[in-house]
Amino acid sequence: MQTKQVSKCWTLDKSGRKIHTGFFWVYNNSILKLVFFDYHRGRNKEAPQGILAEFKGHLQTDGYDSYDQFDKREDIIHLHCMAHARRYFIDAQSTDPARSAYALEEIQKLYAIERTCKEKDLSHDERMIIRQEQSVPILDALGKWMTREYTERKVLPKSPVGMAMAYSIKRWDKLTRYTSNGMLSIDNNPVENSLRPVALGRKNYMFAGSHEAAQRTAIIYSLVGSCKMQGVNPYLWLKDVLTRISMHAINKIKELLPHHWKQLQVQTLEEK
């Protein structure tokens, strides 16, 4: 499971004037190919706490501190996103090009390994073996280099490159944890891809209208986003569901969700 707290969503009060701020939190399951958007008026830890109350398994997040609460859960294995760590070094290039370039080159090697695994369509077990043989030595050397540079005061703690190192050093165990399982991703990019409709939406219609409208928008994002991940045409799914939903048994309503709907379509074709 991958999750991320999305940037702001603006809503208006009933008079259409006062602007409120809300937030979409998105949860992405790359294995089951499902995405879920959850709208909240705030960005505190209660939002993911409620959604993930019964979740068990691997949870990949950025470094936002609201996710630290899951470190205490024995039934959750928490890991972080390498892309977020990389961005800090990208931002530090103008002030310390040499150290930033070294860190980025080493991280790029890690991504090259991931691309090769994907191109070869390796299984999870095969991917883990490659990571252990090739990625782990790179990560070990990079982690020791950052620790040495930072602890020996070769960089200023408040400098861009110093803050980049501090961010990674603090989270190094979680940043490298993806190498322990071939099913895991090196970064949160899959969930980032699910956020594109939100960014486009803010450009096109700016306001959600109200908190209630934002909650309904989250439902639409979840359903359409899951359709795309399942390879289902959202228009065809929506047309079929709207035609049948009034006659569909309420205790079987889950059958109309994109992933179940797709299975039923495949079964129908096989029977024919």
Distance from C-alpha of 211 to C-alpha of 169, rounded to nearest angstrom? 39
Distance from C-alpha of 164 to C-alpha of 138, rounded to nearest angstrom? 18
Q: What pLDDT is stored for residue 13 in this prediction?
A: 62
- The residue ranges of every structural domain in the chain are 2-79+191-219, 82-186, 232-271
Tokens at 97, concatenated: 């090009």
CB 88 within 8 A of CB 184: no
Distance from C-alpha of 149 to C-alpha of 162, rounded to nearest angstrom? 9
Single-letter residue type at 238: L
Low-confidence ranges of the chain (pLDDT < 50): none
Please report, for residues 137, 204, 214, 215, the alpha-carbon distance to residue 12 in angstroms, rounded to integers and kept in the order given.
52, 16, 10, 14
Q: What pLDDT is stored for residue 9 in this prediction?
A: 65
Q: What pLDDT is stored for residue 75 in this prediction?
A: 95
CB atoms near residue 136 (< 10 Å) = 13
Regarding beta strands 76-80 and 57-61, do their DSSP bridges make them parallel or antiparallel, or are they unpaired? parallel
Distance from C-alpha of 255 to C-alpha of 263, rounded to nearest angstrom? 9
Distance from C-alpha of 131 to C-alpha of 58, rounded to nearest angstrom? 18
Q: What pLDDT is stored for residue 198 in this prediction?
A: 60
pLDDT digits (tens, 9 = 90+) for 50-90: 899 999 999 999 888 889 999 999 999 999 999 999 999 99
Q: What pLDDT is stored for residue 270 in this prediction?
A: 57
Q: Reduce the DSSP state of residue 81 to 3 states and report it.
A: coil
Distance from C-alpha of 75 to C-alpha of 93, rounded to nearest angstrom? 39
Counted residue by residue, the chain has a size of 272
Single-letter residue type at 111: Y
The pTM of the full predicted model, rounded to 2 decimals, is 0.83
Judged on CB neighbours under 10 Å (0-12, 13-18, 19+), 257 is middle
Distance from C-alpha of 21 to C-alpha of 64, rounded to nearest angstrom? 19
Q: What pLDDT is stored for residue 202 in this prediction?
A: 56
Q: What pLDDT is stored for residue 8 in this prediction?
A: 58
Its CATH class, for the domain covering 2-79+191-219, is: alpha beta
CB 130 within 8 A of CB 186: no
Per DSSP, 127 falls in state H
